[in-house]
Amino acid sequence: MAYRVGSHWFAGPVHVDFNLTNRCNLACRHCHASSGEPLLAELGTADVMRIVDSLYHLGVLSIAFAGGEPLVRPDIAEILRYAAALPGMSVSVITNGLSLTPALRAKLAPIKNNLTINVSIEGSTAENFGRLRQSPSGSAAAPALFFERIKQSIRALVADGFTVSTNMTITRQSLKDVVATHRLAVVELGASALVAIKFFPGGYGSSLAHILEPPVPAWLDVFAELTRYKLAGDLPGLQVSVPAAWEFYLPLIAADLDIVAAEQAWGYVGTARASSNGPRDIGDAAGFADLCIDSDGKVYPSVLLAGEPDALAGDLRRDTLASIWRHSTVLNGLRRLTVSDIEGACQFCALKDLCGGGSRARAFALTRRLSGPDATCPLIAQPGNAGARDEARQNTPPRIPAVRRSWTVGVGRHAIRVLRLDRGCEVRTRGHVWHCPEGTAVALEAAAEADGTSDLTLALRHETAGNGLCPDRVGKILAGAAAVAGTEASARP
């Protein structure tokens, strides 16, 4: 019998944030990555490609390249082209948009159907943009010039047929600017999305949290108002990124809005509620489905923990990714954590099944402990119970299966990825991960029967129907499904 993830752990991460350099041509006041100067020994082109290969082999479905400013790397087009050529890999690059020259656009044109360029626009006006983004030289005129250049870059990308998404950071000062920024980015400039990222108190932002963090009552009001627009079908392409699920669910509850309808309208489901989380009750995917690789090859549970020595999971200059993923003390510690291990009152909270203990990265930023309370949440200011289960946790290490072989079929940005494990297999599609101890065929059948309507899922169903499957046929099944869907399968040892 095949089942969704829960009874054991992902054989590899599902999404990876990959910082390509810490160098940056802007000086943003809020930068959680503390960017500016490069890290001491940053990865070269061949190292990056080797790591991208290992991500593919471990079944990663999406990579977001960022930094620092990734476009200051002279080999950026080479790296993006390499990653985008992997079948079914969803690839994005997050950029401040200042280096999107015609020459770079031309180099990226061949992969435009498999690349999302995410430009940080940060506001509807040069003034709002300049509250966060400044020139390293401190020039007062620079933000206005940059803002114009970024808008021109977005227009040019859209005209060339790229998929362009945009980002803005939601701070106390920009709470009321979301609708206007959406109008500028999506309606006027033609971007397909605006991702509104709620401020995170890390890096340079940590010392400005008292100025930039949106106050909870204001956040509750603004997010409820935005949700009403979304429920009415307005603000197409507006997405939200919050450090913790309570920041999504609490405003809905306070305003008596329908949670499931809001999830559908935003396309967001908290990790603790997602089926792929299975019995795990922690609502943060860091180290479980998500991982971050920093520009010096160091590995962290999530991008919001990058650069934190106490959250260091491993170093790709010394170890393989597969080994770090399976054996890292930091990652396994996070995987063993349950809501009742979190200091404070999370375990008694009525929202715990929706939220799953808040953001582990913000808890770390505020307390320096991954099991600390996410004290931005208004519901948890209660006495702690840390450490009660430390011993039990150490005695029950999670079992992370090793990947022996992997296959992928990609249709555009959709993929079915099959990982042959020590025992059985893991089949990944967008939105679902299936484990099957009996073997690949049963999991493939389950994946084919999953609620999917893509050409590929239909084709896979066609290929698996009544074929008397055995695991050795997986490559043929995928190749056949790919042919039916009009695409290609690839097998990578």
Which residue in 146, 147, 199, 364 binds ligand SAM (CB under 6 A)? 199
Task: For the CB of residue 46, give the shortest distance to ligand SAM in the complex, in Å.
Answer: 23
State which amino acid sits at residue 163: T
Q: Of 167 and 457, which CB lies nearer to ligand SAM in the complex structure? A: 167
Q: Using the 8-state DSSP alphabet, how is residue 187 labeled?
A: I
Min dist. Cβ of residue 481 to ligand SAM (A): 36
Q: Partners of 426 in the beta sheet?
A: 419, 435
CA neighbor of 248 nearest in space, from 262, 234, 238: 262
Q: How many residues bind ligand SAM (CB under 6 A)?
A: 20
The separation between the first and the last C-alpha atoms of the chain, rounded to the nearest angstrom, is 26
Shortest distance, position 40 Cβ to ligand SAM, whole Å:
19
Structure tokens at 489: 């399968």
Partners of 118 in the β-ladder? 94, 165
Smallest distance from ligand SAM to CB 461, Å: 39
Amino acid at the residue 377: C
Supply φ then ψ for residue 105, to 5 degrees. Answer: -60, -40
Q: Which of 116, 167, 271, 295 binds ligand SAM (CB under 6 A)?
A: 167
Distance from C-alpha of 427 to C-alpha of 3, rounded to nearest angstrom: 10
Per-residue mark of binding to ligand SAM, 329-368 (x: CB under 6 A)? ----------------------------------------
Quick one: which of 12, 13, 88, 205 contacts ligand SAM (CB under 6 A)? 205
Say whether residue 487 binds ligand SAM (CB under 6 A): no
Comparing every residue's Cβ against ligand SAM, the nearest one is 205
Cβ proximity to ligand SAM: between 198 and 352 the closer is 198
We find the least distance from the C-beta atom of residue 120 to ligand SAM, in angstroms, to be 3
DSSP 15: E
12 or 243: CB nearest ligand SAM: 243
Q: Does 302 bind ligand SAM (CB under 6 A)?
A: no
Q: State the Rg of the chain over Cα.
A: 22
Structure tokens at 37: 């100067």
Whole-number minimum distance, CB 196 to ligand SAM, in Å? 10
CB of 206 to ligand SAM, least distance (A): 8
Q: Rounded to an integer, what distance in angstroms lies between the CA atom of residue 270 and that of residue 388?
A: 26
What span, in angstroms and rounded, lies between the C-alpha atoms of 157 and 165? 10
Burial letters 51-62, b for 16+ CB under 10 A, else e:
bbebbbbbbbbb
In angstroms, rounded to a whole number, what is the distance separating the alpha carbons of residues 337 and 394? 10
Spell out where 251-370 has E strands: 290-293, 298-300, 314-315
Q: Under rule CB under 6 A, which residues in 90-149 are in contact with ligand SAM?
A: 94-96, 120, 122
197 contacts ligand SAM (rule: CB under 6 A):
yes
Using CB under 6 A as the binding rule, whether residue 220 contacts ligand SAM is answered as no
DSSP 111-163: GGGG-EEEEE--SSSHHHHHHHEE-TT--TTHHHHHHHHHHHHHHHHHHTT-E
**Separation between Cα atoms, residue 143 and residue 131, nearest integer Å:** 9
Interacting residues of 304 by C-beta distance below 8 A, sequence separation 6+: 32, 200, 202, 243, 286, 359, 361, 362, 365
Q: Which is nearer to ligand SAM, 65 or 325 (CB)?
A: 65
Site for ligand SAM in 31-90 (CB under 6 A): 31-33, 66-67, 69
Binding mask 393-432 for ligand SAM (x = CB under 6 A): ----------------------------------------
Comparing CB distances to ligand SAM, the nearer of 54 and 95 is 95
**20 is a site residue for ligand SAM (CB under 6 A):** no
The verdict on 16 binding ligand SAM (CB under 6 A) reads: no
- Whose Cβ is closer to ligand SAM: residue 157's or residue 460's? 157
Looking at the Cβ atoms of 377 and 444, the one nearer to ligand SAM is 377
Which residues of this protein are in contact with ligand SAM, per CB under 6 A?
A: 24, 30-33, 66-67, 69, 94-96, 120, 122, 167, 169, 197, 199-200, 202, 205
